[in-house]
Chain A
Amino acid sequence: MRHGAHRLRAGVVAAVVLCAPAAARAQMSLQLQADPPEPAAGQPFRVVYTVALRGAADVHAQPLQVPRGLDVLMNPPPPQAPQMIGAGAFFTFRSSVTYVLRAARPGRYVIPGPRAVGNDGHVVVQGPPLTVNVTRTGGTSAQARQAPRDPFDDPFPNLLDPMEPPQPAQAPQRPTGPDVPPEGVLTGVTASAEGFVRVVTDLATPWVGQQVEYRAFVYVPAGEAGCEPLREATLDGFWSESLVEARQQCAARWLPQRVGSWDMTAGMVRRIALFPTHAGRLEIGSLKMGVEYIEGDGFFGRRHRVEMEAPRLVLEAREPPLEGRPPGYVPGTLGPIALRAEIDRAELPVGETATLRVHAQGNGYLGSVTLPAPRAVDGVRVLPGSSHAETDRSVAPLRSEVVNEYRIVADRAGRFTLPALRVPWFDPGTGRYAVGEVVLPVIVATGALRPPEDSEGPDLATQLAPLVREVPLASSPAFFTTALRVWGVLGAVPLAVLGAFAGTALRRALRVRRAAKESTARNDPQSLLAQADAALAGGDGVAALGLAARALERASRASGTSSEAKVAEARAACDGLRFAGAAVASDDVAAAVRAVRAVVEGRS
């Protein structure tokens, strides 16, 4: 009953939308799917290339690009979207073709994401790449049993019930592969209904140098999402190798997951191989991502952007045990290690150089370990040369090959056997040590050492002068150890010159001042009259009269006065002019001063 009402409502909505004018927009997706997901080497497998188009668009899907190492057994033309002008936006058209491929050797193959181009030749849609793990025996995945849906069975899957996708007839089988989140208790996560990031490692207590696989998954309540890394996880104390493409920011595949009561999808965003470089507590920093997804239907849904942060992870790296450790063991050398040695020429003239290459194959950390060098024997010198390492990321766990070069120089003729090269390593599986060994090639040196062409005399360029026999035993004199001493000594002369200038100027100023003071200190009538003359010459008549009055007064105080009348007359003249103020004429002032002088000089 309820199902019937649902259908009725969906039909009404579809009819309304069909009557409405079609919007000029389209949604297209390209998808690749391997069947089975983990095929066996040498066995054919299918890759289904699906194009889904909602709306109308004039685009063309491009042919599949098959990577090297995969044989194409069936190569159909790429699927094409139907050209339907005015098609409704709710119709989804799907078209798919099936390629049949075969891998000769096991490994990890990445088929680039399919692309569709528009009329102008530009890429308008690009799907995610497909990673196929080809094993030796083939995986027993559930998806292998789930045949890809034939598009001709239901060419219009959303026509009758566009609002609600049809439920699968049977429960989906659990997928497998490295990008599938582990089952069980949800660890390494702060769960949220809006989405979260989950980080997991496959080992909690690895040995130093042992590979730990770090994976980060984004869980969202939508079919897929876009990611933007905000902060990558810090990996202090680890040697790291990324196992996904460097340009991949988000998940290549989204898988349905049920977290409690939430229906979500999860996609792997990071996969890194980590190798602890030392023992102890090692921390993997938190990963922060901005994730954007559409909640609900892809057409009517609402766009959400959530910032997710994964918690930090702590690993406890262990040092291989001291018990039973062979001499010369370098921490981090984990086995098994395969050794091989080759020399470019086993027979060489004395004094010339042959190159010995030692190849070591081991785990992914081997490139960071210093391997022991071959030991020299009497008559043969072994000089270290270059070294390089390559890591093979197509296998799990990673494998590295280190090639160390050594220069072999024979100092005399003869047949020399270098001691076998022994490399101790630790097996994490058994917890025991073992020693890898490689027999080095025999070297035959012929001829005699050729003397240098220019050995006529001693090499002057390398001649050392003899020791000093008469050594004065004293410490190194170092006075100028501070900036104050340096600049103090350098500034002494300028400061002295400045001081001399300042002293001279000061002395001169004091002398002038003293002379002026002495000249004005005298207060006898003659001096006062002289000052009055000076004031009169300067045009200051009032001051001249004042000084003349003071001279007259001092003269009158003196004993032996003869003419009181003359004194009174001169005083009256001076006072009269002084009371007249500034308006007095200079000639009158001069006359008054002359009268005073006559009185003063007449008495003296």
Chain B
Amino acid sequence: MSVKAPALFFAAMLCASPAHAVNARELMTHALQAEGHGDLATAAHDLEELAAAGFDGDAVVYDLGTVYARAERYGEAVWCFERVLRRAPLAWEARQNLQATRVRLARRDAGRSGRAVVEQAVPLRVQVGELVPLGWSVALGVLGQLGVVLAVLRRRRGTSELARVGATVALVLSLCASLASLGLVVARRTLPAESVVLHGGLRLLQSARVDAIPDAPVREGERVVRVARDGMFTRVRTLGGASGWLDGAELGDL
């Protein structure tokens, strides 16, 4: 008996087929093929797996958002495009797709409710904070500071009047760049914790309970500010000022 058990174990180990691991490139190719065949659910699933595995670069998230938008999962699409634009403000295709997704969503809601949809603009402070990524602001700040130092040195050692004027202009520009970068960094660092409502037909709950009394409705794709958390529920405040609790699984954090 004592000899049989290890023998069976080794036999099983030898006979067992090795686990087949799909690498990221294959998964990406599979997702693109599925999208080409119109199988949007499979494409979205593959891209979600890629993002969950850590390959959440701008291009992958952009593709995922585009697939979501084509599958009419507008809330999740808005969430993906907003994330891409926060990282890369110059991603014009993501900006175009975000705009198109919002228009589609508004038309769908208007068709369902029979009323025009009015979207609230985000506050100016948030717009400034989202203007450039944090890395860009820091780089601008460092360059501005270096410019200030070099301009001061150049101005002290300048022999001609033209060189001194040029150094002064460079000093002023560098100081402006440094202050602007400082403002951008502060605005970015003080951004409120925001999320996007991923699904439609939701209402804010009056308390953090599964059977709580529903209150004001929230739109799919709407940006909300996270105020507090209680277990699986998150207290949010909409741009319109309404507050209430939502299931955390219905929110995508930005």
List residues of chain A with CB under 8 Å of any chain B CB.
236, 239, 277-278, 353, 368, 383-386, 407, 461-469, 471-477, 479-480, 483, 486, 489-490, 492-494, 497
Contact = CB atoms under 8 A, between A and B. Distances in A.
B190 to A, nearest CB: 11
B225 interface: no
A492 B143 CA distance: 11
Contact of B54 (A464, A475, A477): A475
Contact of B113 (A383, A461, A483): A383
Contacts of A463: 96, 100
A472 B181 CA distance: 29
A471 B63 contact: yes
B23 to A, nearest CB: 9
Given A383-B112, A463-B100, A467-B32, 13 more contacts: A385-B113, A385-B114, A462-B100, A462-B103, A467-B35, A467-B66, A468-B59, A473-B50, A473-B55, A474-B57, A475-B54, A493-B149, A497-B149
A471 B28 contact: yes
B70 A464 contact: yes
Interface string B70-95: 10000000000000000100000100
Contacts of B28: 471, 473
A226 to B, nearest CB: 34
Contact of B63 (A385, A462, A468): A468
Contacts of B145: 490, 493-494
Given A462-B103, A472-B57, A492 B213 contact: no
Nearest to B146: A493
7 contacts: A278-B211, A383-B111, A461-B103, A466-B66, A471-B60, A472-B59, A473-B60
- Chain B interface, DSSP helix/strand/loop, else mixed: helix
A468 B56 CA distance: 14
Interface string B30-74: 001001000000000000001000111111111100110110000
Interface string B172-203: 00000000011001000100000000000000
Nearest to B134: A480
Interface residues of B, number: 51
Contacts of A278: 209, 211
Contacts of B182: 490
B142 A493 contact: yes
A493 B101 CA distance: 43
Contacts of A493: 142, 145-146, 149
A473 B58 CA distance: 10
A489 B142 CA distance: 8
Contacts of A480: 134-135, 138
B69 A239 contact: no
A475 to B, nearest CB: 5
Interface string B3-21: 0000000000000000000
A222 B213 CA distance: 42
A472 B58 CA distance: 9
B104 interface: yes
A468 B66 CA distance: 10
B244 interface: no
Contact of B58 (A368, A384, A476): A476
Given A239-B213, A465-B93, A497-B149, A353 B114 contact: yes
Contacts of A469: 32
Nearest to A381: B111
Contact of B138 (A353, A472, A489): A489
Given A471-B63, A474-B55, A492 B142 contact: yes
Give the 10 A-B CB pairs with smallest separation, nearest first.
A493-B145, A278-B211, A465-B93, A471-B59, A480-B134, A468-B59, A383-B112, A467-B63, A473-B24, A461-B103
A490 B142 contact: yes
B185 A490 contact: yes
B97 interface: yes
Nearest to A466: B66
B99 interface: yes
Contacts of A407: 112, 114
A483 B63 CA distance: 31
A490 B100 CA distance: 38
Given A471-B59, A490-B185, A476 B213 contact: no
Contacts of A277: 211-213
A388 to B, nearest CB: 14
Nearest to A461: B103
A70 B146 CA distance: 89
B221 interface: no
B138 A465 contact: no
Contact of B57 (A466, A476, A489, A492): A476
B66 A465 contact: yes
A489 B141 CA distance: 9
Contacts of A468: 59, 62-63, 93
Nearest to B104: A462
A471 B57 contact: yes
Contacts of B209: 278
A493 B135 CA distance: 16
Interface string B89-132: 00001001101110110010001111000000000000000000
B134 A475 contact: no
A473 B61 CA distance: 11
A476 B50 CA distance: 12
A33 to B, nearest CB: 41
B97 A465 contact: yes
B185 A486 contact: yes
B187 to A, nearest CB: 13
Contacts of A383: 111-114
Contacts of B213: 239, 277, 368
